[in-house]
Amino acid sequence: MAAPFNYRHLYYFWVVAKEGGMARAAARLGMAVQTVSAQVRALEQSLGYALFKPAGRGMALTEAGVAAMAQADQIFQLGEQLPAVVREAATGQGLRLAVGISDGLPKLVVRHLLQPAVEAPGVRLLCHEDEFDRLLGDLALHRLDAVLSDRAAPPNPNLRLYSHALGEAPLAWFAPVDLATGCSLPFPACLAEMPVLLPTGHSAVRPRLDHWFERQGLRPRVAGEFEDSALLAAFGRSGMGAFPASRWSHEELLKDPGVRLLGDCPELVEHFYLISAERRIQHPLVQRLLQGVQNEAGAEPRPE
């Protein structure tokens, strides 16, 4: 029977890998270099593989070391979060929900998707906006509870991630009143008469917009492309050009007297996903998000 795994050895290995060398790790730990080195060697012996190899005057991770580091990162990242989780539970500060927001998602859509969790009593919501791939990495390391995105997580044998469909929303086109009143053609032909603003290619909906223009026989005059959907809408509302927006943003946009709805595009749809690191959701606030979708659509979302 194998001896019990020694997490102290793993922790010393993790610090050495983080610090990039035995001496720096020993200084951080307040220990002798020989002691730290002995602990790492003990881990290598228990695993049966070398975790470090010489690299110039320093050292680098072997392939086995990279694999061990990925697991150690998950273990000790969770450990670093433990004091805050216990403190929040003990002081009655409520549940914490850390959500990654893909930078292409419309902000009003994000608010709509998160509303079921926000309505929970005592919730503490932490939103981190970043590029899609970086958010998936943070999710895999359990730095986030979930990621909201306009696309499902791509297949990756090294990342166990699950995509849950949150719903879809058709797009519509809006324009500043001055541009809308100056057009002589009906929608959608009027888009050929005015500058348009579009999301950049990093957005999942951009290829669908391009195909839609082709099907309509339109060659738009693109005045601006934006990675951030809120910035796109802000420039559109300021008068720069016509712009597309999700149905879940319509109510807010129609309150603006300087903006006019040009027309709906029911065939042009944005899709939204919640991505988790577990197939069966355990976090109660993430469960609320999925339950909110189920109540709206009348069907239970399934992981992809």
* CATH code assigned at 45: 1.10.10.10
* Containing structural domain, residue 287: 94-165+278-296
Per-residue confidence at 300, pLDDT binned at 50, 70, 90? very low
pLDDT at 149 over 50: yes
Residue-wise over 90-115: b if at least 16 C-beta within 10 A, else e?
eeeeebbbbbbbbbbbbbbbbebbbe
Is pTM beyond 0.75 here?
A: no
CATH code for the domain in which residue 123 is found? 3.40.190
Mean pLDDT score, 206-234: 93
**Mean pLDDT, all residues of the chain:** 86
pLDDT tens readout for residues 153-204: 998 777 789 999 988 889 999 999 999 998 889 999 999 999 999 999 888 8
Whether residue 208 is found in the same domain as residue 187: yes
Q: Would 1 be classed as within a structural domain?
A: no
Residue 216: inside a domain:
yes
Residue 235, domain CATH: 3.40.190.10
Evaluate whether residue 28 is within a structural domain.
yes
Residue 49 to residue 128: CA distance in whole angstroms:
37
Q: Is the pLDDT of residue 118 over 70?
A: yes
Q: Are residues 160 and 181 in the same domain?
A: no
Buried b vs exposed e over 201-235: b needs ≥16 C-beta within 10 Å? eebbbbebbeebbeeeeeebeebbebebbeebbee
- Same-domain status, 122 and 214: no
Give the end of a domain, one of 32, 58, 85. 85
Highest mean pLDDT among 68-72, 123-127, 215-219: 215-219
Distance between CA 26 and CA 208 in Å, rounded? Answer: 54
157 and 284 within one domain: yes
Domain shared by 252 and 183, yes or no: yes
Whole-number Cα distances in Å, 168 to 13, 60, 165: 46, 46, 8
pLDDT confidence bin for 301, thresholds 50/70/90:
very low
**Crossing angle, helix 7-19 and helix 33-47, to 10 degrees?**
120
| Boundary residue ending a domain (34, 59, 85) | 85
Whether residues 195 and 64 fall in one domain = no
* 120 and 241 part of one domain: no
Are residues 62 and 132 located together in one domain of the fold? no
Tell me, yes or no, whether 161 lies in a domain: yes
Average pLDDT over residues 203-214: 93
